[in-house]
Amino acid sequence: MSMLEEIKAAEAAATEDKREANLTIRSMLREAEDKAVANAEAMVTAAREAAKKTIAISEANAKIKAKALIDERARIDRAQARAAFEKLPEAVAYIVEKVVV
């Protein structure tokens, strides 16, 4: 084999190696991109689930606080109604005294 033929063969081998390397790189890049997309989707899904749980916990806490507030207000209302009812005879007597006299 002459030197020129050896150079041409080496150039052809180099060209083939370069083409195979490019194909390998493209394949690796596609795989890396697919993995990155899958990881991103998994992170988004996990974040959505965490947000749903946080919202559910917040809603439950809000319901507990609202119930406690309603119960406290109802207790205060009952106490005020009881106090007003206890003063009812005095109020009626005062009105009768002012109207009749």
**Over 70: is that where the pLDDT of 101 sits?**
no
**Residue 9 pLDDT:** 87
The C-alpha atoms of residue 57 and residue 34 are separated, in whole angstroms, by 35
Q: What is the CA radius of gyration of the chain?
A: 43
pLDDT at residue number 99: 83
- Which burial class, exposed, middle or buried, applies to 1 when counting CB atoms under 10 A from its CB (0-12, 13-18, 19+)? exposed
Q: For residue 25, what pLDDT is reported?
A: 95
For residue 7, the tally of other CB atoms under 10 A from its CB is 10
pTM greater than 0.85 (yes/no): no
> What is the model's pLDDT at position 26?
95
- Report pLDDT digits (tens) over 13-46: 899 999 999 999 999 999 999 999 999 999 999 9
Reply yes or no on whether the pLDDT at 6 is more than 90: no
Model pLDDT for residues 49-99, shown as the tens digit of each residue: 999 999 999 999 999 999 999 999 999 999 999 999 999 999 899 988 888
Domain coordinates of the chain in residue numbers? 3-76
